[in-house]
Amino acid sequence: MSKLDTHQFAPLLKSKMSPESYRKLIALENEELFAFVGEFTEHCEPDSVYMCDDSDEDAEYIRQHSLLKGEEKPLTKAGQTIHYDGYNDQGRAPGATKNLVSKELVPLMGALLAKERNEGLAEVRQVMKGIMKGKQAIVKLSCEGPTRSPFSIACAQITDSFYVAHSEDLLYRRGYEHFRLMAPGERFFRFVHSAGRLDEHGNSVDLENRRIYQDMEDYIVMSANNQYAGNSVGLKKHAMRLAIKLAGTEGWLCEHMFVMSVQNEKKGRSTCFCGAFPSGCGKTATAMLPGEKIIGDDIAYFRNVNGEFRAVNVENGIFGIIKDVNAVDDPLIFKTLQTPGLEIIFSNVLTGPDNEPYWLGMGVDHPAKGWSYSGEWFEGKTDDKGVPIPHAHGNARYTLRLGYLENIDPAYNDKNGVPVQGIIYGGRDSDTSVPIEESLDWKSGIILKACTLESETTSAVIGKEGVLAPQPMANLDFISYPIGAYITNNIRFGEGIANAPRIYAVNYFLRDAKGNFLTNKLAKKVWLHWAELRIHNEVDAYRTPLGFIPRYEDLKALFAEIFQEEFSEELYRELFKFRIDPWIAKISRAVRFYHHSAPDCPEEYFEIWKSTAHKLTALKERYGHFIEPGTYSEK
């Protein structure tokens, strides 16, 4: 007899679970897990509770029940299914998402979606009281990062959505055996999710009571009345926010970054880069560059492992935006999505009469009618305001295992992670940042590259500055403790390692006076290979006021080698001239943002930004509006 059989929740769980499910739960001898399952079984009141282990049989149980309940439907290709979220439940819900922190911390959180903890817990628990009545709850254990490694964070999810549980099985490493080997009292993240009341299509009804509340003290997330995976799959961005807070407490880093390796075939070497990009700025396209290898596309943990800056991909799969994935721009992903027999979930795309998926920017003609996120769809369908409804949603997704990709790096599952040698911060502007620039050092890279990162959301007039949104560290939506402290933790972590990665800022979106992009989409491969050569000290660079840029002859050689293309010196000079006025404006916007949104930001950082702007203003008198490549001197 297990000691857990005498626990206060034991009678309730025995009444709700099959003997086999109860056996699997108590076999772990984890009192904290047992209490978590018992507490929320009592609070949410599901009719029954199914406990999963790491077996393929339990994974198949989840998949089949998702189909039986209509949460997913089979598509023509074996292994592929389609899921539809509700019409108004198609993306993250910032208004319903809160970081629950102490009353004293709320004023320091600025733009970080903070809510007083006790008030938030009372509110969300009221919303979730009895929310699972009439349903079966699934308890699924997973692991962020490789199991039993220095990076591992165990996770327990309770959900009444088989689609959510199925998604987690594709996206994360199974964690039952990891829990079995955990020490008594070892921390794990906890997640509770319910789709709530459902309509005839199986979609959440009570969206006005949608809540995604993240308790930053107790490391638990409660998510109610939603289905979109970004809100319901706890181990995705919810766990990321918890991990960012935990990292800030313990002195490591959780970042919104891909992990990939650049392949130098001539030298026979592989060099690992991580990169943070706001949405629409080239993150996935960089991680999936043809000829390179991917380790992860979204979230990375960084730790000091025996004096080395090392990273793991937290996930084991991809929950990717499918819009514009086509055979030309994303050949590897596109090929994978067309392969029968792979377990793939599509969401919120059109399924035609042929029961095949069709999405925006797919590069093939789509049927004139079918079923989509708006229900029955036909060409010319409009919403209640007369606006045409496209055949698929712009935030439609695909979910698949990383191991399906041809370009997966075998190191993606290394328990000690991979050594990181370069960090990339990618923004989007039409007239300021050069295609690639190396920072002077780690601290300068964080303060002047990462903290000033912006994304151009729209362009009011072609050829002029668009509407720029601040995107510090490409992580603003997920930072879960005060921004100033978060920046400081990044600086301290890098400076605490002898050979910290070099930091690069990239921008793929420079335009000419007519509004045309100056380079094509694949030019980023050249910028990345130049960074790889810099890391190995094989090319020199020109100094700029903020770092180092490539020399023309080195880029010319790379364009010839990689693309068999000519790269003109005229284009080089246009791409890499230092634009003084836009940079002064960029730094001024950063100062305003941090004054408004980061009350705890150290004065030292403001002094760096202000002194840099002052320096650039003085350089304008010396050089004019632009500093041509190779002409800058510190003298």
Residue numbers annotated as active site:
281
Residue at 337: amino acid letter: L
Report the candidate in 380, 341, 334 with the shortest Cα–Cα distance to residue 358: 334
Q: What angle do the packed helices 237-250 and 483-495 form, to 10 degrees?
A: 60
Q: How far apart are CA 137 and CA 16, in angstroms?
A: 10
Using CA atoms, how far residue 603 sits from 440, 454, 472, 484, in Å, is 21, 21, 17, 10
Instruction: Supply the DSSP symbol for 435.
Output: S
Where do the H-state alpha helices sit in 299-375? 331-337
Contacts of 200 (CB under 8 A, 6+ apart): none
Instruction: Give the 3-state secondary structure of 89-136.
Output: CCCCCHHHEEEEECCCCHHHCCCCCEEEHHHHHHHHHHHHCCCCCCCE
Beta-sheet pairing, 220-224 with 188-194: parallel
Q: Give the HSE-up count for residue 212: Cα atoms under 13 Å, Cβ half-sphere.
A: 28
Location of structure tokens 């919120």: 348
DSSP count for the chain of H helices, then E strands: 18, 34
Q: What distance in Å separates the CA atoms of residue 633 and residue 399, rounded to the nearest whole number?
A: 50
d(CA 473, CA 255): 8
Q: Which pair of tokens denotes residue 185?
A: 């009292």
Tokens 């709320």 -> residue: 106
The set of residues, in sequence order, having a beta carbon less than 8 Å from that of 523 and lying 6+ positions away, is 435, 508
3-state SS class at 238? helix
| Structure tokens belonging to residue 588 | 């001024």
